Amino acid sequence: MADLETPISLYDKLASGQPFSFLLESAEGGETMGRYSFIGFDPELTFSFRDGRGVITENGNSTPVAFTDPLEVSRRLLSRYRVASRPGLPRFQGGAVGYLGFDCVHYFEPVPVPGKAPGKAPGKAEPGKASSGRTGGRTSAAGDEDPRCDGELPEGYLMFSSRLVIFDHLRHRVILVDHVPLAGDRAAAYRGAIAQLSALIQEMKASRVERTLLFPEVPREREAPEIGGRNMSPEAYASAVEAAKEAIQSGEIFQVVLSQRFSVFESLPSFSIYRALRALNPSPYMFHLRLEDSAIVGASPEVLVRLDGGQVLVRPIAGTRRRGETSSEDVALEEDLLSDEKELAEHRMLVDLGRNDVGRVAKIGTISLERLLHIERYSHVMHIVSDVRGQVETGKDAFDVLRACFPAGTVSGAPKVRAMEIIAELEPTARGVYAGAVGYFDFTGNMDTCIAIRTLVVRPGRIDLQVGAGIVADSNPQAEYEECLRKAHACLAAIEVAKAMEASAR
């Protein structure tokens, strides 16, 4: 029994001081807590990479590796760990956990990284105008521009963990999982695993978390909390929107997602931010990834792609309204959203794109469209959602599935490749983690990833958040900018709550 414990207390006891760790949680539909939370730390192996070069660290030894496709390296590493699924245990029983940033797309498609497009004009445009080379995103108000991208972060980072602490919310119990290698002395390996799990049990019993998270009053008004820096000024973002509309009107694309980065210059514990975010914005995918001196914290509403028992799932989310102050206002906003032809057309286009992505790895005739155009509500916004499913083709695996669907059309555009080229022209910096994938590849061949939206990158002295809006032919630049602020509100509010929490603990 673990009715006196929570995933938060267990993570704080077991993993908070570790250089590598993760906590994965879920709130179904953004409202009801998922059954399981997963905690991992002290991975046997890590794989980080950037620009075709990576580092594999195992047992304290680091080995450089060069490659053309990081997923091929990941597949080779994961092939060391193959286990049979155990009945009675949750779907995830160990695997590779981490992220692949949006910029990994250059390994899979012939597109440049945002901010590095060939011929990108180096100068600044006047506010409200696109500069030569269609680089409207390069402008900023004085003091706002921050051209640094995520240069300190790898393009991708995976932790290979065979030991898990699983919190079962339904039965109020903790499940400890470890995997014993078959090579060598199996009996000795088994005894060693039992000893390590016994030590974990003693550690859980020996300490109790005393620190309480005291929430200040968080206003529901729609203005974003204070932003310390950004990679685009509002004028520059408007200029980029106009440039994107030109590309749409000329027939190059139908839609493109333009994003901007907000920064808060604070030093805060990433786990405090996570605790605040999970309370303010419970979501289907909630995660805290500790990666040495950086952390990825998020509460994403949207699956990128899932492979479970041979079934592929993508769930395009497109179309947004704020939450109402009352249930009746919620209903009115929902009806308004479902009658908005612009939002519906954009959503249907992205459903078609998702169907095409699934079709690249699914058996012919198995693709189905389910729950078309239904509404899901979250703490600050509501979205239109649809489900696309298919049966994976024989000979294809989780890495093939992710490659086929990466990145999601809901954070790139349509047609996808040309939209990504325009993103590279118009956005001034690499996207980094934003709009990439966060999740796991497990030892049984399954995979579950979300889109890295509503996601914060936490480093010493700096917290970054990136948000985007879908641009179509009749987009209003001011309205798209305000949509970005609405999407950013929960994450920025979580920073404010974490600041207040840290102040109260002093």
Say if residue 415 is preceded by a cis peptide, omega within 30 of 0: yes
Residue 74 phi, psi (nearest 5): -65, -40
DSSP characters over 183-233: SS-HHHHHHHHHHHHHHHHHHHHH--------PPP----SSPPP--EESS-
Distances (CA, A) of 382 to 359, 375, 434: 28, 7, 20
Both ends of the chain: CA-CA distance in Å?
33
Query: For residue 358, what are its two tokens?
Result: 């699934």
Which single residue is written with the structure tokens 């479970």?
A: 308
Q: Give the catalytic positions in this structure.
A: 383, 410, 434, 454, 470
d(CA 465, CA 433): 10
Residue 188 CB burial class (10 angstroms; 0-12, 13-18, ≥19): exposed
Q: Which DSSP helix (H) or strand (E) runs through 328?
A: helix 327-338
With a CB cutoff of 8 Å and minimum separation 6, the contacts of 245 are 471, 473, 475
Cα separation of 370 and 384, whole Å? 13
How far apart, in whole angstroms, are the C-alpha atoms of residue 58 and residue 86?
Answer: 27
Does residue 248 sit in helix, strand or coil? helix
